[in-house]
Amino acid sequence: MDLVPLRSVPGAGLLPAPDQVVAAASNVAHKLLYGGVADLRPMPRTLIDDGTLREVYHYRPAGHVQEQGDPVLLVTPLAAPSSCYDLRRGCSLVEHFVSEGRPTYLVEYGEVSFRDRNLGMEHWVDEVVPTAIREVSKHAGDRPVHVIGWSLGGIFSLLALADKRSGDLPVASLSVVGSPIDVSLVPLLAPFRPLLNLFNGNGPITKGYQLLGGAPKPLVKWAFQLTAFQKLVTKPIALATHVDDREFLAQVEAVDHFTANMIAYPGRTFGQLYHRFAKGNQLASGVFELDDRTIDLGDITVPVLVFGGSTDGIAPVPAVRAVVPLLKKSPEVRFEIVPGGHLGMLTGRAARTTTWLVMDEWITQWSGGAQPEAAIGTNRKRRHSSAASRALGQ
């Protein structure tokens, strides 16, 4: 969130305008009386399927809208709570889809404990994501599913759709949001890369996650906050200068709530991510060795929409864009640069008029089986559909 000074009365220096004083007083009173200004009520949902670290939910249709069209499945990343898709009322991708009448589903994993330490990436690639896709399709009347994965959820979705062992999954399209494919292009890791290779696979990080059975919740929370260290340091100033801006305050509260509910990583999965992604950068070639087989992203045969966040430090635009040339069998690969950091690009205030609208256009384009005629304002040959994306790409 950019820091901007309070609006002031013309010619009055830094004095706030009367309406700002009233708004600020109202926000402070609301926070004191109710604990905050954000509406953090989750959208109503019903459990339709569950298994080991797998819970598939259907969001209940809005009372004034009839569900229609192909369903959407939101794939949650490991360690992050599912509120990434349902951050707060008024700034929730789930709420957006439901209000539009889109059948909306989500897969999440529940709490990860020490007993889950032996679960590896195969669990999510072989079992969780494919099963969720099939169950959603079945629940929605055997319709094809539009899969949307943020961060690691996008990587798991890519691997599941590329894996020949998954079979013929009923997928209409895939959207990948902020998923770094080539981690050598992540500047955040550059200072640590010599240390990652120093101990030959037997360093303190390896011993730590083996001893703890994974990456515990406090460590995951700290790591996420560290990626936005500058914002963390300037947060008190930002709150003080935006005390009259209820939308700004609500977004800060919602992000704090999201961060406070981080989830642990299972030990074996964390080890695979650490050694194969952070150190080995295996996915950059498009070929990934998993268990007893090789998965090639070039085997994905559904259309793929890829989003990069303009200020994303965890998954910078070049690291995300690296997947585009690897998707050789996809009928269309579309790349969009949208405003925001790692979480903001998905559910920031600007996402409502950028990321979400591009998703709407994409889902409409690839719904109904056969390729439809382009809607007004839609061009399948175009790689930057929105004015915001084109501007950020310059």
pLDDT digits (tens, 9 = 90+) for 336-359: 999 999 999 999 999 999 999 999
Provide the token pair at 256: 């704090």
Contacts of 377 (CB under 8 A, 6+ apart): 361, 385
Instruction: Yes or no: say if 56 and 89 are a contact pair by the CB < 8 Å rule.
Output: no
pTM of the entire structure? 0.77
Secondary structure E strands in the chain: 45-51, 54-59, 72-75, 104-108, 145-150, 171-177, 214-215, 265-266, 287-290, 293-296, 304-309, 333-338
Q: For 130, phi and psi rounded to 5 degrees?
A: -60, -40
Contacts of 294 (CB under 8 A, 6+ apart): 287, 288
**SS3 assignment, position 368:** coil
Q: How many CB atoms lie within 10 A of CB 341?
A: 20
The reported pLDDT for the residue numbered 268 is: 73
Q: DSSP code of 244?
A: T
Q: For 145, phi and psi rounded to 5 degrees?
A: -110, 140
The span from the CA of 363 to the CA of 369, in Å, is: 11
The span from the CA of 227 to the CA of 262, in Å, is: 14
Position of tokens 């032996």? 118
Provide the token pair at 177: 């949001």
Q: How many CB atoms lie within 10 A of CB 161?
A: 25
Instruction: Yes or no: say if 341 and 309 are a contact pair by the CB < 8 Å rule.
Output: yes
The span from the CA of 356 to the CA of 336, in Å, is: 12
pLDDT digits (tens, 9 = 90+) for 206-215: 444 444 344 4
Position of tokens 């991510």? 273
Distance between terminal CA atoms of the chain?
21
**Which stretches of the chain drop beneath a pLDDT of 70?**
1-36, 113-114, 188-245, 264-265, 267, 369-394
Provide the token pair at 335: 């790349």
Q: DSSP code of 164?
A: G
The reported pLDDT for the residue numbered 364 is: 96
Q: Say what angle helices 129-139 and 152-162 make with each other, to 10 degrees.
A: 80
Instruction: Yes or no: say if 121 and 127 are a contact pair by the CB < 8 Å rule.
Output: no
